[in-house]
Amino acid sequence: MSIKEIVQRCDELILLIASKLNEDSSLTNAIATLSELKKTLKDSDEDALQQALRDREKVRKAQEIVDLVEKRRANRTLAYIDDIIAVHPELKYPMKIPTKLFESERVKKTLVICPAATHGKERVDEISIDEMMSQLFPGLLTHRYGRLMKVPVGGWSPRYRVSPAGVSVITDENDAFDIDRDELPPDYPAGSQREKVYVPQEMKLKGVEDYARPKYQLEETEPIEPEEAESETYLRFCTRCGAIHDGDESCSCGSAYLTYATPPKTYPLIWNVVRMKDEQPMVSDPLFLRMFEKVAFGHKVEVMKVLHGFERSYMGQLWRVRYDKLFGESFQTDGILFRVSTSLISQSYQKIKVEDPILLRDLKLLCYISTLDEVAGPSFGLTFNQSLAVVKSILLRAITSTGRVPITAEELDRVLEQFVDRPDELRHALGDLSSTNQLNLGLRDQDVDRLSSGPLKEAVRRVRDEACFEAFVSDIFVHSLKHYIQTSAMVLLGVDEKDIRCHFRRGTREILVYDNLPEGNGCAETLRKLARIPLSERIQTLRKSVEKDIPVALPARDFYSILEEFLTGCRANQVDSVYWGLIRDPKTAELVERSSADDETRQEVLQELRSRNLDEFSISYLDALLRYGSHYTILKSVRDEELFLFRLAPEALLSRLTLDEKKKISPGMDPKDLDKSVLGKIQDSLEMCIDGCPVCLLASFCDMGVLSVRYLVSRRVLETAYRLIRDNVLITVGSEPREALLQKATELLETQGTLYVRGSYGDAKDVLELGFRLLGQPIRDGRAYLNNFSCDPDNRFILKMEVS
């Protein structure tokens, strides 16, 4: 009972007693006592009292644990964590470890109500809002609680906003925050200047049993069943708009139902707004001073997370649904800001333009896809996959008609221009793509007519604008770097994305790493401390650790050295290049074929690989790749400049293969299924790290969306930028006499604080001698140290030196 309620009760009693005064005058004393109690209670601080009660409870719990530990110590028995948990006052022992034990109490939770199975009780679960947003959001079909269930979303269409059913997610008007329309995703159809975002309090799941049928009960046409079907439960859904007919969603398209076994994959659309309100400058790294104009730590980082819809994909199609009611949470926490240098982005773009026409073409292709999505999405209702399919179909048509891929960005421009205002051409192209990959693109003839003269024309015009393209490259640069920074931070701290997040908004150059917990969880603080660790600090810690014989040491790599390692190149890509060399060699193909049946030959192949200076990890990776004999037939004729395009449009590679080659790739296949089977194998064989991928870039929780993120990253752009900043402080042994190189090296260390010495394996001795000549020399306010020995993919030896 609250104090307010007690006071109210006192008033009621006083009135009651007053009415009885005539019968007993001694009751006056009782009224006086009650009045006094009421006054005392009114004067008391309820919050302080509540706090005191909570504190007392904490002290009691702590005391119990301390008593237990002391008792164990006195009895000389071991104390295990189970023993500690056993005294937890809220727990019956033995029982599972409470989630609170490893999770901060500041994590906001949502109640999940699961419907009862037959006559059982409703099941109640508590999940964090993050988990709700990413794994249990409206629209998702889930087996999480055993049976197939769903968080209801209500009738919907992909072109308009939809209301999650009011009963499914319960919110509180007082637990919500406002967000400006400008801060929401550009394609979110906000109804007013400010939208309210609700913190979900409780959500009710819904069973879909009545609408699901086991296979033997199906009365309609044979279901289309993906090969990897996960269940025997069948539901119907609309291939035009993507609505799943499970008694919750409904659509009026009416004609395009498909019965399926595996529910389409559904992913949430989560948008973050992150702002830093205070900035404390942070120590930077001499090399990365050129990459980041500013690095700052702050205690006041405002985070707003907004769940604004979901995207659903099936058989090459993708639908985006926006919620009418936004869900999310907001809090203040610690974070670190990285502002990327404008001049570096610009220099990198210029370098790519001059020196790397293939990368330029690939970026332009991504720009076409992204711009078409931007133009055609809101105004035309095209989904991202449809925009992608339009560009793919144009590419496929161009490659099949000319027999070659466009090599330069200008050639690509000409290819796209050919389809502007030419709906017939575009219709043919889309038809070719659809018949090759046997996917329904969901575009009608009238859509294609309007597309060619409308959104496609506008997209081509925009991409031809140099400033627009450069801005897109800038976005790709900062977005890719964001993923590198987040991964580096997680590697350093040994945490995952539950603990630390990273944010970048398109059009800006700012990357914000922040703690994913109100008031912070220490990740950003630790990252600040370990961003760069000076050698003197390491030596002190090391000596203390050895002297006291305790294994306490600083992390082997600081943040900047991990980030640099990522930027020097993808290891998988390096191994892929070896694989690429092998697969193009007919002798290897023969050897691989033999080795699949003969282990002795396989060992010979592995031995040959070991002689190429490859480590065991790379060899086992190659060993796995080389087991697929079909890869040789697929990849033998693919050239370097074709790789990215075929990865994007594998149908183009399929169209180039002869019937004999197809039969060799998929022997024994029915002719009508041959192309489908070969296309699958082509996709498998191209699963290489060509320009970064969502796996290594850790694309989950990215504002870009799970399915489109891969079209907005480029490993190669960052590697170009890294080489640009590194080459400013790089000297190559053999390019000048030793004395001149020493002079230059000393100057670089003096002025830049860092230095790279590089040379071929043949020059390794000279590289080392130069590095060791500078070792320990007093420079600026420190000494020159060697801190990295490595080799680059071109078999060159590299030493890194720093002033520490």
User: Interface residues with another protein (CB under 8 A)?
Assistant: 533, 535-536, 538-543, 545-547, 553-558, 561, 565, 613-615, 739, 742-743, 745-747, 750, 761, 764-765, 768-769, 771-778, 783, 785-791, 797, 800
Question: What does DSSP assign to residue 115?
Answer: P
Least distance between another protein and beta carbon 591 (Å): 23
Alpha-carbon distance values, 60 to 46, 67, 81, 83, 101 (Å): 21, 10, 19, 17, 17
Least distance between another protein and beta carbon 791 (Å): 6
**What DSSP assignment string belongs to 81-100?**
HHHHHHT-TT--SS-PPPGG
Do 687 and 693 meet the contact criterion of CB atoms below 8 Å apart?
no
Closest to another protein by CB, 253 or 552: 552
**What DSSP assignment string belongs to 121-160?**
PPEEEEEEHHHHHHHS-TT-EE-TTSS-EE----S--TTS
Round to whole Å and give the CA distance between 302 and 334.
9
Least distance between another protein and beta carbon 735 (Å): 16
Least distance between another protein and beta carbon 289 (Å): 19
Closest to another protein by CB, 340 or 767: 767
- Taking the mean position of all CA atoms in its chain, how far away is CA 270? 11
| Cis upstream peptide for 694 (omega within 30°) | no
Q: 40 — phi, psi (to 5°)?
A: -60, -45
Closest to another protein by CB, 71 or 612: 612
Closest to another protein by CB, 620 or 637: 620
The number of helix segments (H) and strand segments (E) in the chain equals 28, 23
Q: Which of 235, 240, 242 has the alpha carbon at shortest distance from 220?
A: 235
Q: How many CB atoms lie within 10 A of CB 714?
A: 23
Q: 116 — phi, psi (to 5°)?
A: -70, 140
Query: Facing residues of 338 across strands?
Result: 295, 511
Q: In what order do the strands lie in the sheet with 141-142?
A: 141-142, 149-150, 206-207
Residues 186-204: b if buried by 16+ CB within 10 A, e if exposed: eebebeeeebebbbbeebb
Least distance between another protein and beta carbon 764 (Å): 5
Closest to another protein by CB, 85 or 742: 742
Closest to another protein by CB, 104 or 613: 613
Least distance between another protein and beta carbon 693 (Å): 22
Least distance between another protein and beta carbon 491 (Å): 13
Question: What does DSSP assign to residue 409?
Answer: H
Residues 759-777: b if buried by 16+ CB within 10 A, e if exposed: beeebeebbbebbeebeee
Closest to another protein by CB, 530 or 712: 530
Closest to another protein by CB, 208 or 784: 784
Least distance between another protein and beta carbon 691 (Å): 23
Least distance between another protein and beta carbon 623 (Å): 18
Closest to another protein by CB, 429 or 582: 582
Least distance between another protein and beta carbon 610 (Å): 10
Q: Interhelix angle for 357-380 vs 409-417, to 10°?
A: 30
Do 338 and 289 meet the contact criterion of CB atoms below 8 Å apart?
no
Closest to another protein by CB, 324 or 623: 623
Closest to another protein by CB, 272 or 804: 804
Least distance between another protein and beta carbon 779 (Å): 10
